[in-house]
Amino acid sequence: MADTEPRQDRSRATRRRLLETTIRCLARHGWEVSTVAFIAAQAGISRGAVQHHFRTREALILAALEHMFEERAALLDALPDPGGSGPDRVHAVVTGLVDAIGGELFRAALQVWTVAAADPELRATVVPLERRFARGVHRRAVRLLGVDDADPALRALIQATLDLARGLALADVLTDDSRRRARVVRAWSDQLAAALHATA
C-alpha cells in the first residue's frame, strides 16, 4: 500500500510530462515531426513507457489537446480582477485575454486544427473540445468585464474581443507582432470601453 501511492504519483508525473512535452513539440516542431519516438526522446521517456500511457500517437495528441485546453482555461482563471473601472479596467482585461489565448498553447492548437481540417475523424473529436473551451473563455471574459451576457449587443462585443485575440495570436505565429498587437489592443479596448459605457 505504501509503495502504491508513490508509483501512482510517478505515473501521474510521467503522464503530465508527456502531455506538456507533446504540446511543446507541436508548437515548436509541428505535427509531422511530433511522432511518438520524437516526443518520447524530448521527454526523456522510453517509447515503451509512452505506449503504456497512450497506445497510439492519436490518443497522445488528443490527450495533449485536452490538457492544453485545460491549461489555457487555467491561464484565464488565473487572470486577476484588475479592479478600477472604465477604459483602464477594460484594457487590462483585454490584454489578459489576448496574452492567455496566444502563445505556445495557441501554436500547438493551430497545428492540430490544420490537420483536423482535412481529417474528419480528428475534426469530430477536436470541434467539441474547441467549442467547450470557447464557451469557457466567453464565461470568463464576461466575469472579468462584469457585463450582462444576456444582452445580445454585449454578447457580440465579447465575441468580437475573443475573435480579435485569436486573430492577434495567429498574426504572431511567424513574426514577433508584439508592438502592433499592443497598439491594436489599446485601440480596441478604448472602443470596447466606450461601447460598454454607452450600453450601460
Question: Do the Cβ atoms of 79 and 144 come closer than 8 Å?
Answer: yes
Question: Do the Cβ atoms of 189 and 91 come closer than 8 Å?
Answer: yes
Question: In degrees to the nearest 10, what's the CA dihedral of 147, 150, 153, 155?
Answer: 70
d(CA 123, CA 116): 4
16 grid coordinates: 503530465
133 grid coordinates: 473551451
Residue type, 82: P
Res 7: pLDDT:
73
Residue type, 123: R
Q: Does the pLDDT of residue 200 top 70, yes or no? A: no
Instruction: Count, in order, helices (H) and strands (E) of the chain.
Output: 9, 0
| Sheet strands (E) in 70-182 | none
Question: Do the Cβ atoms of 36 and 50 come closer than 8 Å?
Answer: yes
With a CB cutoff of 8 Å and minimum separation 6, the contacts of 60 are 18, 22, 36, 39, 50, 53, 54
Res 5: pLDDT:
59
Quick: pLDDT tens for 43-93.
Answer: 999 988 888 889 888 889 889 988 888 887 787 788 777 777 788 889 999
Res 126: pLDDT:
87
Quick: pLDDT tens for 113-154.
Answer: 999 999 998 899 889 888 888 888 898 899 888 888 889 999
Percent of all residues in the chain with a pLDDT value above 70, rounded to a whole number: 96
Helix (H/G/I), strand (E/B), else coil: 45: coil
The CATH code for residues 58-199 is 1.10.357
Q: Where are the domains of the chain?
A: 58-199
103 grid coordinates: 502563445
Res 85: pLDDT:
72
d(CA 144, CA 125): 29
Between vectors from CA 44 to CA 40 and to CA 47, what angle results, nearest 5°? 35
pLDDT band at 3 (very low <50, low <70, confident <90, very high): low
Helices 104-116 + 57-77 axis angle, to 10: 140
Mean pLDDT of the chain, nearest integer = 88
